Amino acid sequence: MKRVNVAICGFGRIGQQIAELLLNRSTYYKQKYQIDARLVGVCNSSSGLIDQEGLRAAEWLDKSKYKVGLTEQQFLEQVQADVIIETGPSDYVTGGKGLFYLNYALTHNMNAIAVSKGALVVDSKNLINLAHQRHQKLFFSGATAAALPTIDLFEYNLAGCQILEIEGVFTGTTNFILNDMLQHECAFAESLAKAQAKGIAEPDSSFDVDGWDTAAKITILANTVLGADIKIKDVLRQGISHVTADHIRDWKKENLIPRLVGFIHIENQQIQTGVELRLVPTTHPFAHLQGSNKCIRVLTQEMGELVVSGGASAPLATAAAALKDFELMLKHTAKN
C-alpha cells in the first residue's frame, strides 16, 4: 500500500478540523485508493509537532508536546511530507507565510493545498506555473468559497466554455449576518457577534464585512479561471457594516433582500470586477440563500446560465473542501 504523508501548516480552527477528518477517513482512503494517508506534522506560528509514523488526536491536542521554533522553514525541512495543507492567516498584501509555504512545498517535491487566500490573491499565476514546472499539484478549493464549488465548476463542468459573466454570494459570513438582521431586525454588531460565535467569521471580521473576502475570491477566480492579471485593489469594493436595522425594515417593506455580491463581467475581452451590496427581488436565486449559504451564477456562451447554491460556511465544510482537493490528488497518485 502506498503511503502519503500530509503536513498541515497553520493549526487553528480549520487546520484542526482537517486533521480530525483526515484521521476519520483513513480507512476509506485505504479501501478506495489503496493509500495509507498519514498526518505526519502540524505547525502554528511559533511551534510544531512531527511524528513520521502518524499523529493521533491525543498528540496534536497536547500543546506541551509541541517543539518551540519548529515552524516555517525548519518545519518544512524536517517534516517528510508528500502534501502540505496550508491553513494559516490570509495576507492579501504580501501573501504572507502562506506564500512561503506554498513556494517551498512546490519547489521541494511536495503537492500543495491552499485554504488561506493571501498567497493566491497575490501570486496565483506564478504558483500555478511553478506547480506545472515542478510536476506538482496545487489545489485551492478552500481559498475560493470552500464548500461551494467554484474552481471545479470551471475546471470540469464548464471546461472549454466561453465565460461571459460570473457573479455570486461568495462570503457565507456576510450572508449569515444579513439574514440574521432580516430575521430579527437587529443591529449589525449583534448579528456579527453571532457569526463570530459560530466560528464562521474570519479571525479579523473586517475581512468579511468590508468585502475583502469576496474581493479576494473574485481576484483569484479572475486570474485563475479567466487568465486575467488583476490585483485585489482593482476590485471595486463595498461592505455591509453600514447596514442598519432601519435599512432592513425599509427594504423588507419593498420585498427586497440585501446580498453582498461579487461579480466579474466580461465585455469585449475587458474584465470588470467588483463587490457591491445589491437589493434583489424575492424571486432572485440569491434571495433564497439561508444562513451562511453561498451561491455562484455563471453565464456562458455555449451552456447558458448555471446557478449553484449551498456550501454553507462552517469549519467542517471548509475542511471537507480541502480534503476533496486531497482526494483529487489521491486519484491522480493512485493512477500513477
Residues that bind ligand NAP (CB under 6 A): 9-15, 43-46, 71-72, 87-90, 97, 115-117, 142, 146, 200, 202-203, 313, 315, 318
Q: Mapping DSSP to helix (H, G, I), strand (E, B) and coil, where does residue 214 land?
A: helix
Q: Which three cell numbers stand for residue 157?
A: 463542468
Is residue 203 within 8 A of residue 195, CB to CB? The reply is no
Is residue 108 within 8 A of residue 84, CB to CB? The reply is no
Q: What's the order of all strands across the beta sheet hosting 304-310?
A: 236-237, 270-281, 256-267, 163-169, 294-300, 304-310
Residue nearest to ligand NAP (CB): 12
Q: Which is nearer to ligand NAP, 196 or 241 (CB)?
A: 196
Q: Which is nearer to ligand NAP, 235 or 299 (CB)?
A: 235
Least distance in Å: CB of 250 to ligand NAP? Answer: 31
Least distance in Å: CB of 225 to ligand NAP? Answer: 18
Q: Which is nearer to ligand NAP, 5 or 44 (CB)?
A: 44
Q: What's the order of all strands across the beta sheet hosting 111-114?
A: 67-68, 47-50, 35-43, 2-9, 83-86, 111-114, 138-139
Least distance in Å: CB of 302 to ligand NAP? Answer: 31
Q: Mapping DSSP to helix (H, G, I), strand (E, B) and coil, where does residue 85 land?
A: strand
Least distance in Å: CB of 196 to ligand NAP? Answer: 11
Q: Which is nearer to ligand NAP, 213 or 299 (CB)?
A: 213
What's the burial of 265, exposed, middle or buried (CB within 10 Å: 0-12/13-18/19+)? Answer: middle
Q: Which is nearer to ligand NAP, 4 or 146 (CB)?
A: 146
314 forms beta bridges with none
Least distance in Å: CB of 305 to ligand NAP? Answer: 26
Least distance in Å: CB of 277 to ligand NAP? Answer: 21
Q: Which is nearer to ligand NAP, 202 or 325 (CB)?
A: 202
